[in-house]
Structure 1
Amino acid sequence: MDIRILLVEDDEHICNTVKTFLSEAGYKVDACIDGNEAHQKFFNNLYQLVILDIMLPGMSGHELLLEFRKLNNTPVLMMTALSDDENQIKAFDAEADDYVTKPFRIQLLLKRVEALLRRSGALAKEIRYSKLTLLPEDFKAVYGGVELPLTLKEFEILMLLVQGRGRTLSHEIILSRVWGYDFDGDGSTVHTHIKNLRAKMPENIIQTARGVGYRLVEETL
């Protein structure tokens, strides 16, 4: 599944340059220059990493980071011209994962992005969740040592739920991420695939948030 990054930077030249390099490195990048737009994008989509400026129109980077952390632990890399200790401490107190000051070498930024994704497990060849093991490169899922006979769409839904652990994913998010933004179907498509996915698993680890979407049950050892 593609690694998707949210880039929030109000300097259009820097924003376009970073987006180009990240895209060439194989990442899917959603870019915006406004804090309010970034807030909407984060809550309507699922990202594996956020690159966040501090001084933004609308909500500031500090405000956005606090809002993001209310929802999940997606890695956040602060990218800003504010190099003073106070702003760095404020960012880390709000649980930023890394901090880069401008100007910076784009190659160094790419290495930091890669390190954060590796640390979070987004680049892992094998992803574990309770009794479930996912092998993204082979599109295989193993539960309790037994491979599950999943279709590609079923695997992608399960992968999406694991990546968004701790978060309820709406029907709209699942549709857009698995089928694409231009898909003409509706929530019943997701419901049917979830039903089939549950039937193929020895235990049901997918909970329904009625009227909202789906989430994984709390992880157990």
Structure 2
Amino acid sequence: MTRGAVLVIEDDPDIASVLVDYLRRDGFQATHSSDGRQGLALAQRIRPDLVLLDVMLPGLDGMEILKAIRRDGETPVIMITARVEEVDRLLGLAMGADDYVCKPFSPREVLARVNAVLRRTRAGGAPPRTPLLLLDPARRQATLRGQPLELTRTEFELLQVLAKQPGRIYSRAQLLELAWPDSLDTSERAIDSHVKNLRKKFAAVDPAHEWIRAVYGVGFALESAEDGAA
């Protein structure tokens, strides 16, 4: 019994071969397409558990494929890109990409991302577990592993946005708009200072786990620990 079906839509044969090999060795049923239109048709036909999708493809580019997949359902999608421009990444996230991997990358990193996204998307059918991170919006209090986090009001509001969708990558502009929609004097760069303070407070309680992940050129995401978070 496989761990799930993953469709790799990637036109570079060497990259595709490595990804498929790693996925299969980790117990996944991996299928590959090197053409955008054929890849989309294959995704619609086999209904994979997750799609690894290159941005630049012949036939139909990855952004158009992502749009079509999102119109059709909620299949998790991890984008693979050699582009480093922020606009491409934010456009993909706004359209519903679950994560990004930038070339060049380690196949082990991609495999870790696949497993992380699948854990998140399958969590709805899992037995309930005691959350490691608890937020109390009424009192603006947060506890991590049962220990209170002494957060400022600003830090709590920022954490509350990140915690609504663990694993989702938010740009600084998105965090600014969602956490403080009425603020006129807060800059996007202030987000970095607040995130730095949050990381210190998380690390004081749980130094072994990186709870807030920085994605270069994009923004930040709250990462769940292996045994669950909320």
Give TM-score scaled by structure 2 length: 0.53
Gaps of 5+ in 2: 129-230
Shift of 1:43: 1.2
CA root-mean-square deviation: 1.9
Aligned to 2:8: 7
Aligned to 2:223: none
Q: Distance in 2 between matches of 1:124 and 1:28?
A: 21
Aligned to 1:72: 73
Instruction: Give percent identity, aligned residues only.
Output: 35
Q: Do the aligned partners of residues 124 and 13 (structure 1) sit closer, same or farther apart at CA in structure 2, a change above 3 Å counting?
A: farther
8 Å CA contact 1:52, 1:79 repeated in 2: yes
Shift of 1:121: 0.5
8 Å CA contact 1:118, 1:124 repeated in 2: no
Could you report, residue by residue, the CA deviation over 1:14-38 in whole angstroms, capped at 9, with x for unpaired residues?
0001100010000001101000111
Give the counterpart letter for 1:76 in structure 2. Answer: V
User: Partner of 2:30: helix, strand, or coil?
Assistant: strand
Shift of 1:117: 0.5
8 Å CA contact 1:49, 1:117 repeated in 2: yes
Residue 36 of structure 1 pairs with residue 49 of structure 2 = no
User: Partner of 2:80: helix, strand, or coil?
Assistant: strand
Q: Distance in 2 between matches of 1:24 and 1:75?
A: 21
Q: Distance in 2 between matches of 1:78 and 1:39?
A: 14
Aligned to 2:114: 113
Q: Do the aligned partners of residues 123 and 104 (structure 1) sit closer, same or farther apart at CA in structure 2, a change above 3 Å counting?
A: farther
Q: Do the aligned partners of residues 123 and 8 (structure 1) sit closer, same or farther apart at CA in structure 2, a change above 3 Å counting?
A: farther
Shift of 1:124: 6.5
Matches within 5 A, 1:88-167: 88-121=89-122
Gaps of 5+ in 1: 128-221
Q: Distance in 1 between matches of 2:111 and 2:64?
A: 25
Could you report, residue by residue, the CA deviation over 1:89-119 in whole angstroms, capped at 9, with x for unpaired residues?
1100111000110001111111111000000
8 Å CA contact 1:10, 1:32 repeated in 2: yes
State how many pairs are aligned: 127
Aligned to 2:213: none
Aligned to 2:84: 83
Q: Distance in 2 between matches of 1:66 and 1:43?
A: 13
Aligned to 2:176: none
Aligned to 2:60: 59
Structure 1 residue runs of 4 or more that deviate by more than 6 Å after TM superposition: none
